[in-house]
């Protein structure tokens, strides 16, 4: 299947065969749009009788995402996000695990996040290496940088394999 120029630009593909995909940062309006479109499709197919779209928010997951990472407290972050959805006509269901979150759930989320950060870092390193490989007439400095990037990638790949 040939890719259209718009899709190619959207995905950031520029003939680097080592890069399989690229993450796109979503804006809040994009999430609202996807929710509304999903809701409308379900209404057309008569899969729902709801009058408005709905989203369920895992309060603990969202709260721990913001905990000690922003100036917002965890409770304020959850409230703000739920309020933004509600103001745009989306019903919000808050799902909480109770008064305390078990330490194993936090540890699991930390492991998953660490593995994802490592994977994204590897993608960036491979992209940098790809740019160095395709440079015409490489200097000794470029060759040394390429060798250093290759070593770093191998080390990170071993770390990534151990985390699976």
Confidence of residue 148 (pLDDT cuts 50, 70, 90): very high
Closest by CA position to 66, among listed 80, 87, 85, 83 = 80
Q: Per-residue pLDDT tens for 102-117?
A: 666 667 777 777 888 8
pTM, two decimal places: 0.45
Burial tier of 47 (Cβ tally within 10 Å: 0-12, 13-18, 19+): exposed
> Does residue 126 or residue 58 have the better pLDDT?
126
pLDDT for the residue 13: 41
Determine the Cα–Cα distance for residues 58 and 51; give it in Å rounded to an integer. Answer: 22
């Amino acid at each position: 299947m040939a890719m259209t120029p718009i899709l190619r630009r959207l995905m950031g593909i520029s003939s680097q065969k080592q890069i399989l995909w690229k993450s796109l940062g979503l804006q809040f309006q994009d999430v609202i749009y996807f929710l509304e479109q999903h809701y409308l499709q379900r209404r057309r197919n008569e899969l729902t009788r709801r009058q408005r779209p709905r989203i369920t928010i895992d309060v603990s997951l969202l709260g721990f995402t913001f905990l000690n990472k922003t100036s917002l407290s965890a409770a304020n972050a959850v409230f703000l996000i739920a309020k933004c959805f509600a103001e745009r006509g989306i019903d919000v269901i808050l799902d909480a695990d109770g008064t305390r979150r078990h330490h194993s759930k936090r540890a699991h989320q930390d492991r998953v996040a660490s593995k994802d950060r490592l994977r994204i870092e590897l993608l960036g390193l491979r992209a940098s290496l790809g740019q160095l490989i395709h440079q015409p007439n490489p200097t000794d400095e470029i060759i040394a940088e390429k060798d250093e990037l290759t070593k770093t990638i191998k080390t990170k790949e071993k770390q990534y394999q151990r985390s699976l």
